Amino acid sequence: MHDAETGPSDAPTRRARIVLTVRILLSAALLALLISKIHLDSVVPRQRHLSTLAWFALALGMAALGIVLSAWRWQRVIEAFGVHVRLRRLTTHYFAGQFLGNVLPSTIGGDVLRVTRSAKNIGSTETAFAAVALERLTGFLALPLLCACGFLLDPSLLESSTAWVALLVSGIALGALGTILFLAGHPNAAGRFEHRENWVRFIGAVHVGIGYLRRDRRQIVGVLGTALIYQISVIATVGFLDLTLGTGVPFAALVAFVPVVAMGQVVPLSLSGLGIREFMLVLLLHPLGISNGHAVALGLAWYATMLLVSLLGAPAFAVGHRAGAELEGAVTPSTTDAP
């Protein structure tokens, strides 16, 4: 027998803590390297007019609206399974997930919290998992599309020495998305897990969701439309922060490069994208004449904005596990294993 403190069941927890520690250290190292090469005095607004506070307030408001739009996108994905959950409830879950993922340095992410809590409303853990997974995947189509729109708005951006980075990241995202959707939608790949009883049934649930979307093209339009609107809100948030700091990033560059940074920062190498986000902004904006200091400051302001908005999820996170949840929609026939 293994002691309770050293048993094999503790191994995954220890590994998760080690990974979290490595991510924190990598974020700290990247930020220290970037900050050591800039002059902080040159990036702080010299004249703190009322307009500076107004732009920052607009950035905070847009970031908060972005979470509501994320919940709306999530709702549209859930409806593809034939289940309806009120937007207000999903927004509460999303804010709680943001609080866990951005404010609390935990070994589980906000998406895990969203799955467990929305499962009570949906009536199926498998459907809840599939909905969150598909909701996340929609971004990998909307983001490259917006990046392309930025280059169309200002083709001269293609002359930037690092434009190829944006195109490469967008291409990788589209390639990965295509591969995942092909495997998840193929009956001989993810489809063979649809009626399994162990953990692979969650993969089968994603296959079921893709099948529903294929049969109802209007659902695809709705899901992709809400995904685009949400990603536009992210660009608007960074745009307001640009005005707050006086960074001077051209509008077309924001449209082209903010989605690329958003794709890069989801790679689980650092804590909440810290360091990765700032490094990519320096890489993409420096050829446009934006100083490294302003690029780093923009990235840190982006992170600080999401951190402040995520604090709004503290009450939902604290009381969510005690709140009684009622089934709010029909359970789909293919995923009837309620928790």
Residue 48 lies in a domain: no
Amino acid at 217: R
Picking from 222, 216, 204, the residue whose alpha carbon sits closest to that of residue 82 is: 216
Q: Is residue 301 part of a domain?
A: yes
Digit-by-digit pLDDT tens for the chain (339 residues) are 444 444 544 665 676 666 656 666 665 665 666 566 565 555 555 556 778 889 999 999 999 999 999 999 999 999 988 889 999 999 999 999 888 887 776 545 788 889 989 998 898 888 898 899 889 888 888 999 999 999 999 999 999 999 999 999 999 999 988 888 888 777 777 667 666 666 667 777 787 778 777 777 788 888 899 999 999 999 999 999 999 988 899 999 999 999 999 998 887 666 677 788 888 999 999 999 998 888 988 988 998 899 899 989 888 888 765 544 443 443 333 333 333
Structural domain includes residue 136: yes
Q: For residue 15, is it within any domain?
A: no
Q: Annotate 256-288 with b (16+ C-beta within 10 A) or e (fewer).
A: bbbbbbbbbbeeeebbbbbbbbbbbbbbbbbeb
Assigned domain for 66 exists: yes
**Residue whose tokens read 């794709």:** 263
Does the residue 69 lie in any domain? yes
Does 265 map to a domain? yes
Residues 6+ apart with CB under 8 A from 257: 147, 150, 166, 281, 284, 285
Provide the whole-model pTM: 0.81
Q: Residue 39 domain-assigned?
A: no
Total number of domains constituting the chain: 1
Please tell me the number of Cα atoms within 13 Å of 290 on its side-chain side. Answer: 26
Question: Do 137 and 181 form a contact (C-beta atoms < 8 A)?
Answer: yes
User: Any idea what DSSP says for residue 158?
Assistant: G
3-state DSSP of 4-33: CCCCHHHHHHHHHHHHHHHHHHHHHHHHHH
State which amino acid sits at residue 310: S
* Best CA proximity match to 212, nearest among 220, 222, 203: 220
Closest C-alpha to 291, from 246, 240, 234, 243: 246
Containing structural domain, residue 111:
53-319
Backbone Cα Rg of the chain? 21
